[in-house]
Amino acid sequence: MNNVSSRSVSRREFLGTVAAVGATVGITFPQLSHAAQSGEIPIGLELYSLRDQCKTDLPGMLAAVSKIGYKGVEFAGYHGRTAKELRKMLDDNGIVACGTHTPYESVLGDKLKETVEFNQAIGNKFLIVPSMTARSKQDWLAKAKLFNELADKVKSAGMWVGYHAHAHDFQKVEGETAWDIFCSNTRPDVILQLDTSNCADGGADPVAVLKKYPARTRSIHIKPHGAGPEAVIGEDKLDWKEIFAFCEGPGKTDWYVVEHETSKDPLDTVKRTYDALKKLGKV
């Protein structure tokens, strides 16, 4: 199942185990191939899709992902590698960092400077917090205020901060979903990284949720929903025509980030997903 609460190891636990912060500086960002430049939205891969394989062979997985055709990767932990090592692996394979899922704690206080420096070194400009919880509307408002402040702090480094949706974000808190509380109280430059499957798991319609917040989806997790653990995009029940139309129009999306969490053969499924996107005209 795609719901975060049903996984044997959650992304939060995974990141807490493998994330490492380095401070290698002085390396410039690579030039990214954005929709505005190329006429199409580039396809990246969330490396949580290959989490077990990356633990044992990160260089091999980056090479395989590049060979399939992906233009970028979004990190979910660094597997003990330094920023310099990661950057070399990316450069050697002709791909870029299209985001990092960086733990909430890593953007707080003095940790933010280290996180910014690490991401500068690997060439990433999207700092996406993968999960948060709060007990009340006031708690969510406080988190929205924090992200507004963070957006200001990282702007001078050429970065954006954002939040990644999970199913619990679409449950109501004092009559309003946590997602709506957070999104409607953050600045336009705070990225709202919807996860299409997590959204549906939470009982919401991804298309309707996207349309409420135009120009906020600079990065989106495109993940199948509702057709079994091996299904890829186009074999499931989501309205991909409408999702893609939004992203390529009012969503102002810079990256499609593929994620697949449930396959018994993750690398093959990553390839099948890319092939499916080709058939849909997205590559």
Q: What percent of the chain has pLDDT over 70?
A: 86
3-state helix, strand, coil in the chain (%, to 5): 45, 15, 40
pLDDT in tens, 26-58: 444 443 434 544 459 999 999 999 999 999 999
State the chain's mean pLDDT as an integer: 90
How sure is the predictor about 14, in pLDDT bands with cuts at 50, 70 and 90? very low
Residue 147 has pLDDT above 70, yes or no: yes
pLDDT in tens, 121-145: 999 999 999 999 999 999 999 999 9
pLDDT in tens, 15-25: 444 444 343 33
pLDDT in tens, 82-109: 999 999 999 999 999 999 999 999 999 9
User: 61 with 34: CB under 8 angstroms?
Assistant: no
Residue 228 has pLDDT above 60, yes or no: yes
pLDDT in tens, 174-189: 999 999 999 999 999 9
95: CB partners within 8 A, 6+ apart: 62, 65, 66, 70, 71, 72, 73
pLDDT at residue number 105: 97
Q: Which two tokens stand for residue 174?
A: 């004092």
pLDDT at residue number 39: 54
String of b and e for 95-132 (b: at least 16 CB within 10 Å)? bbbbbbbbbbebbeeeebeebbbbbbbbbbbbbbbbbb
**pTM for this prediction:** 0.88
Number of residues that make up the chain: 283
Residue 6 or residue 210, greater confidence: 210
pLDDT at residue number 7: 39
Residue 244 has pLDDT above 70, yes or no: yes
